[in-house]
Chain A
Amino acid sequence: MASIFQRIGALSSSTTLDTKKFHLSSPRSLLERKVSFLVVRSDAAKINSGVNRIGGRAHHLVANAVATKADTSAESTASKSGHEILLYEALKEGLEEEMERDARVCVMGEDVGHYGGSYKVTKGLAPKFGDLRVLDTPIAENAFTGMGIGAAMMGLRPIIEGMNMGFLLLAFNQISNNCGMLHYTSGGQFKIPVVIRGPGGVGRQLGAEHSQRLESYFQSIPGIQMVACSTPYNAKGLMKAAIRSDNPVILFEHVLLYNLKETIPDEEYVLNLEEAEMVRPGQHVTILTYSRMRYHVMQAAKTLVNKGYDPEVIDIRSLKPFDLHTIGNSIKKTHRVLIVEECMRTGGIGASLTAAINENFQDYLDAPIVCLSSQDVPTPYAGTLEEWTVVQPPQIVAAVEQLCQ
């Protein structure tokens, strides 16, 4: 039903669009698949549609551009009641609910069983579901990723945990050549509904090898989907959506976000994997970000509002494919884009996003796209150096000021 509203909105804005370049088909075409469960769109969708606008909420957000956690929870709670939860607990809740719902869902990874996972996302699941269903594996990422693929082809729905995303580089062959490909090369005979998840990103002095941003390496692989969660609300929703999806999905979590607290709804909800999240509507500039950088952006937004700017912040969430619909609508409004990412400059998500936006929305840009990323260096261990490899709020403020000149 929301899809109809979306198309109306799309049509009205597409009259001036060069249809040769980009057919503004709604990403809701992805919903051709049968949706039998309740899919709650983020309020962003409701705001974007021409009808059913929760205008009051939007005005509130503009007035109070305070980048506290209360802000993010404002748009996420669909009901008055809810329960407070930490992000890693939200992931666990989503995981547990799916495991209860479908007996084919299982978890495999290093130390996920009785140890409960290195970040406690699977704590308590092994005693509850048994240690065959929550499987502790020996240290061989290629093998247990391969195992997950084999089990998925047989009908199970495994969740493969990389203790740290960086370790999944060892499983690259299985992920790229088999996970992404076998549905295609088998002519659709075998499907691979795996979820590959784990913590990644730059943490607090974890060293170069444990501070990898794997989204940039995986983004080319055809056949997989990538999503990045950033709040307890979207973490649970994306986890559930990823498990229910028949495609292989890579869910990127961030090491430093596991202890974020938020109130999430009591009732069941599943988010849309291909949708971006409107964090803060605005008029002057579109800031696209995801994962931990969202919080740096919101912090910068505080400063920017005080300086009189009105940034629109979108958490893109879906890293493959990009939600060009939400992004496009935002660009048509603001005409200026700033991308803030944690990936390295070369070949990161920002680089792809820049190319995609340039290709599709060239006519709507008043200024070249600015992309703030980490430098092309291995993450140093020293705390002070590490802090400066990632994009910091002052840099974001400066970039917006420059962009809006």
Chain B
Amino acid sequence: MASSCLTKSKNFIIYNLKSKSSFTDRISAFTNSLFHHRLLHTISPLPVRKHAAYSRVNRTDDSQRFFELAYVQRRLHSTVSVSSDVTQLPVESPSLQILDFPGGKVKFTKKLSFTSNSTEERVHCYRVLDDNGQLFTDVDSLEISKELAIKMYTNMVTLEVMDTVFYESQRQGRISFYATTTGEEAINIASAAALNDNDFVFPQYREPGVLLWRGFTLQEFANQLFGNKHEYGKGRQMPIHYGSRKLNYFTVASTVATQIPHAVGAAYSLKMEKQDSCVITYFGDGGTSTADFHAAMNFAAVLEVPVIFFCRNNGWAISTPVNEQFRSDGVVVKGKAYGVPSIRIDGNDALAIYNAVYEARKMAIKEQTPVLIEALTYRAGHHTTSDDSTRYRSVEEIERWRGDQNPVKRFRAWIEGRGWWNGVAESEYRSSIRKQVAQVIQVAERVEKPPVADMFNDVYDVPPTNLNEQEAFVQKTVKKHRQDYPSDVPL
């Protein structure tokens, strides 16, 4: 074994010996600082001689010193290697060991080997609650108060109930469209709980729980779904495209991952104005394939801005499973590629999410760095009401994830274990929320739709002539053919 060691890597031994000596360290540091590309080209690796003659060619001072020092180094090398090795090892010329390319120093290797396309072991996943909702011992976790825990749990239940009832209302034809967050309640609520209200949120479309946490009322949700005149979007967007300036939640756009560069820009503005808050942006596994994701990650790392990239890796992008989306070890390894600190967490573990986002936020603000969080979870519902996921995945798989791995159930087990919740409270709360949601639907349904004038406002800050003309034309046409237009749309 010893001999194979020696033959395998002579370079290694020499370098090792060199590093043990502080004198050689200082010399090599000095040498490296004189290393220029130009100089390198002018020097060919000199063969090592024990007692080499110093070149007598007239050179500039710098290069003279360089030669001298490089030479000193070589002499030291040969001295060292001779004294400590049994066999005479040919010494490597130091100019081949480290080079200062643009971008930093790189060590060379003589081995021709490619890095593998995957590591043997996948990146580990951080979790604090076990499958039954019991906290592990010896775990990295914050203590959360009873009040916070109950608030988190009740919000998760509200989200779950809200999703069910709204989904049903779409099925009944009362709203046109809906997308549930079933299976991702923990991600929604726990991540929101770990942030401050003045942190800015750039959502994809499966994060209404963040709005819910911040105080968006059930009525406000319903108003947006019905597109009535009370909703903040003024009836211009599809259902679930919520937005609230007041709550620092930017309006959802249907385009996938376009919010990620927006988040980086927002974080840039925070950095410019030196604010003590961060930005968080959410996206799914599918979103990480887009150009916007990659460019934004790169930008965030280069600009050093306080943004949390939160990837909800829920296994499916409509009907595309993750193994058809990318071949990397999930999304967490991509952070390393861009120079972004990252972590993989259990997305069905509310406490793990809370801890991770809390830490990420601190890190992002204090060190002005982006952070990538990959939360492994499962999209237990269909992509939207326009999808029937049983067409491309098994019902058993869906049922399994709705069962034990259900984040609401796991957190409930933990909170009940602490004595802060029980079955009675559960059923009371659920029926109360269900009633409330049904109520807000009825109210929202009866509210008038936004007026036709709102179709032309806000395209610009002030409507230009052509839009005024077009509006006048529409008004005239509607007045003339009133019976052909919906009666609940005012002019």
Instruction: Give the B-binding residues of A (Cβ under 8 A).
Output: 22-23, 25, 27, 29-30, 32-33, 106, 132-133, 135, 137-138, 140, 142-156, 158, 173-174, 177-178, 181-191, 222-223, 225, 245-247, 274, 321, 324-325
Whether A246 contacts B461 by the Cβ 8 Å rule is yes
Can you offer 30 A-B residue contacts whose CB atoms are under 8 A? Answer: A25-B465, A29-B468, A132-B272, A133-B272, A138-B302, A142-B292, A143-B261, A145-B261, A146-B260, A147-B264, A150-B259, A150-B261, A150-B265, A150-B269, A154-B266, A173-B292, A177-B254, A177-B255, A182-B251, A185-B233, A185-B241, A185-B243, A185-B253, A186-B251, A187-B458, A189-B245, A190-B243, A247-B460, A247-B461, A321-B465
Chain A residues with CB under 8 Å of B378's CB are: none
Docked CA distance A150–B294 (Å): 16
Whether B296 contacts A154 by the Cβ 8 Å rule is no
Whose C-beta in chain B lies nearest to the C-beta of A323? B465
Whether A143 contacts B296 by the Cβ 8 Å rule is yes
Whether B237 contacts A146 by the Cβ 8 Å rule is no
Whether B265 contacts A189 by the Cβ 8 Å rule is no
Interface size class of B (residues with CB under 8 A): 35 or more
Does B202 touch A at the CB level, under 8 Å?
A: yes
Q: Enumerate the 3 nearest inter-chain pairs by beta-carbon distance, A residue then B residue, closest first.
A: A146-B261, A150-B265, A150-B262
Whether A182 contacts B253 by the Cβ 8 Å rule is yes
Whether A146 contacts B465 by the Cβ 8 Å rule is no
Whether A29 contacts B266 by the Cβ 8 Å rule is no
Bitwise interface map of B from 438 to 468 toward A, beta carbon under 8 Å scored 1, else 0: 0000000000000000000111111011101
Docked CA distance A185–B263 (Å): 18
Docked CA distance A156–B202 (Å): 17
Whether A142 contacts B262 by the Cβ 8 Å rule is no
Shortest C-beta distance, A115 to chain B (Å), equals 16
If A147-B268, A185-B233, A187-B234 touch, whether A174 touches B258 (CB-CB below 8 Å) is yes
Whose C-beta in chain A lies nearest to the C-beta of B258? A178
Chain B residues with CB under 8 Å of A23's CB are: 468-469, 472
If A147-B261, A177-B258 touch, whether A153 touches B250 (CB-CB below 8 Å) is yes
Whose C-beta in chain B lies nearest to the C-beta of A151? B265
Whether B234 contacts A149 by the Cβ 8 Å rule is no
Chain A residues with CB under 8 Å of B459's CB are: 183-184, 222-223
Whose C-beta in chain B lies nearest to the C-beta of A274? B464
Q: Which of A30, A142, A173 makes the CB contact (< 8 A) with B464?
A: A30
Shortest C-beta distance, A247 to chain B (Å), equals 5
Does B139 touch A at the CB level, under 8 Å?
A: no
Q: List B residues 218-249 near A (Cβ within 8 Å).
A: 231-234, 236-237, 241, 243-245
If A177-B253, A182-B251 touch, whether A147 touches B258 (CB-CB below 8 Å) is no
Chain B residues with CB under 8 Å of A185's CB are: 233, 236-237, 241, 243, 251, 253
Interface Cβ pair total, 8 Å cutoff: 168
Not counting A185-B253, A225-B460, a sample of 6 additional A-B residue pairs whose C-beta atoms are within 8 angstroms of each other reads A137-B299, A142-B295, A147-B261, A187-B243, A188-B234, A222-B459
Chain A residues with CB under 8 Å of B232's CB are: 186-187, 189
Bitwise interface map of B from 263 to 284 toward A, beta carbon under 8 Å scored 1, else 0: 1111111111000000000000
Chain B residues with CB under 8 Å of A146's CB are: 258, 260-262, 264-265, 292, 296
Among A27, A154, A274, the most chain B Cβ lie within 10 Å of the Cβ of A154
Whether A186 contacts B233 by the Cβ 8 Å rule is yes
Chain A residues with CB under 8 Å of B112's CB are: none
Whether A150 contacts B253 by the Cβ 8 Å rule is no
Docked CA distance A173–B292 (Å): 10
If A106-B272, A189-B245 touch, whether A140 touches B253 (CB-CB below 8 Å) is no
Chain A residues with CB under 8 Å of B76's CB are: none
Whose C-beta in chain A lies nearest to the C-beta of B302? A138
Chain A residues with CB under 8 Å of B295's CB are: 138, 140, 142-143
If A138-B295, A185-B236 touch, whether A150 touches B266 (CB-CB below 8 Å) is yes
Docked CA distance A146–B255 (Å): 12
Q: Which of B258, B265, B267, B294 makes the CB contact (< 8 A) with A148?
A: B265
Whether B245 contacts A190 by the Cβ 8 Å rule is yes
Shortest C-beta distance, A146 to chain B (Å), equals 3
Shortest C-beta distance, B310 to chain A (Å), equals 16
Docked CA distance A25–B472 (Å): 12
Whose C-beta in chain A lies nearest to the C-beta of B233? A187
Shortest C-beta distance, B132 to chain A (Å), equals 41
Whether B462 contacts A135 by the Cβ 8 Å rule is no
Chain A residues with CB under 8 Å of B291's CB are: 140, 142-143
Chain B residues with CB under 8 Å of A154's CB are: 200, 265-266, 269-270
Chain B residues with CB under 8 Å of A150's CB are: 202, 259, 261-269
Docked CA distance A183–B459 (Å): 7
Docked CA distance A50–B361 (Å): 63
Docked CA distance A154–B294 (Å): 22
Whose C-beta in chain A lies nearest to the C-beta of B279? A150
Chain B residues with CB under 8 Å of A325's CB are: 465
Chain B residues with CB under 8 Å of A155's CB are: 269
Does B161 touch A at the CB level, under 8 Å?
A: no
Chain A residues with CB under 8 Å of B265's CB are: 146-152, 154, 158
Q: List B residues 281-339 near A (Cβ within 8 Å).
A: 291-292, 294-296, 298-299, 302-303
Whether B243 contacts A189 by the Cβ 8 Å rule is yes
Whether B465 contacts A29 by the Cβ 8 Å rule is yes
Whether A132 contacts B271 by the Cβ 8 Å rule is yes
If A150-B202, A185-B237 touch, whether A156 touches B269 (CB-CB below 8 Å) is yes
Q: Which of A25, A153, A177, A324 makes the CB contact (< 8 A) with B468?
A: A25
Whether A142 contacts B250 by the Cβ 8 Å rule is no
Chain B residues with CB under 8 Å of A174's CB are: 258, 261, 292
Docked CA distance A143–B290 (Å): 11
Shortest C-beta distance, B200 to chain A (Å), equals 7
Chain A residues with CB under 8 Å of B259's CB are: 150
If A190-B251, A324-B465 touch, whether A143 touches B292 (CB-CB below 8 Å) is yes
Whether B458 contacts A183 by the Cβ 8 Å rule is yes
Chain A residues with CB under 8 Å of B262's CB are: 146-147, 149-150, 153, 178
Whether A188 contacts B250 by the Cβ 8 Å rule is no
If A138-B302, A153-B250, A189-B243 touch, whether A144 touches B261 (CB-CB below 8 Å) is yes
Q: Which of A25, A32, A149, A178 makes the CB contact (< 8 A) with B462?
A: A32
Docked CA distance A135–B272 (Å): 11
If A146-B258, A222-B459 touch, whether A190 touches B250 (CB-CB below 8 Å) is yes
Whose C-beta in chain A lies nearest to the C-beta of B460? A247
Whose C-beta in chain A lies nearest to the C-beta of B256? A173
Whether A321 contacts B466 by the Cβ 8 Å rule is yes
Docked CA distance A171–B371 (Å): 25
Docked CA distance A372–B363 (Å): 59
Whether A143 contacts B264 by the Cβ 8 Å rule is yes
Chain B residues with CB under 8 Å of A140's CB are: 291, 294-295, 298-299
If A173-B255, A182-B253 touch, whether A142 touches B269 (CB-CB below 8 Å) is no
Chain B residues with CB under 8 Å of A222's CB are: 459
Whose C-beta in chain B lies nearest to the C-beta of A23? B469
Docked CA distance A186–B123 (Å): 39
Chain B residues with CB under 8 Å of A324's CB are: 465-466
If A156-B269, A274-B464 touch, whether A135 touches B250 (CB-CB below 8 Å) is no
Chain A residues with CB under 8 Å of B466's CB are: 321, 324
